[in-house]
Structure 1
Amino acid sequence: MYFEREFVVEHRAVFEEVIARTHRIAVGIFVATFVGYGVAIWVWFGGNTWAALIIATLSYLFFRQFRTLSFSLARMPLRGQAKSLPVLKQIDRALEKGRAMEVMAELEAHLQAMGPE
């Protein structure tokens, strides 16, 4: 367990903001990945097999990192805010112990258990 329930309740707004941003960024990465696959197919039909293979491979590698990347990018705008500092420190400590997907899953479970405000 990475987060105490009381800590999540106390900083609920910041956690909800981080999770919401993470999901928006993840959707963008997901869309960008499939656009990359589309470009690879277009390049392949254009007769450039190696370029298509490289584009498809890069798109795949980008997609494999989408959870970690989206979670990291979602936290960046909050770095300069004083109210977010304890939350970001706790998230960083949690990420030292586990993967981004596990940390996000726990946060989402805490927030879901609390229900809507």
Structure 2
Amino acid sequence: MVWIKLFTSAFIIAAVTELARKFPLYGGIIAALPLISLLSIFWLTVQGETSKQIQSFTLGVILGLPATIVMLLAIYFMLKNSFSFILAVIVGIVSWGVFLFIQKILMAQFNI
């Protein structure tokens, strides 16, 4: 089962990357689709996980979206302003982590 998941996921990522090489805007739009989330939900269901576990996973995805948006915005603006790719990715990942940390504190503060 693990090999099927690996090959399926790798195939999808490779296909999206190839599309992005030829059509960057459309590749980005497709990459923004919740492919990984849907694949994960599918595999969790196939593996017999409970509805409660899948619901908890889905909530985690929802809670991770704002930080992912912050990360992508940071990378976009760094690259737009001619910073190196590596620096843009590092700043993006740090932004993502800081946002998640602040979000966790706020959620604890408001008992969410």
TM range (shorter): 0.3 to 0.5
Highest Rg: 1 or 2?
1
TM-score (norm 1): 0.34
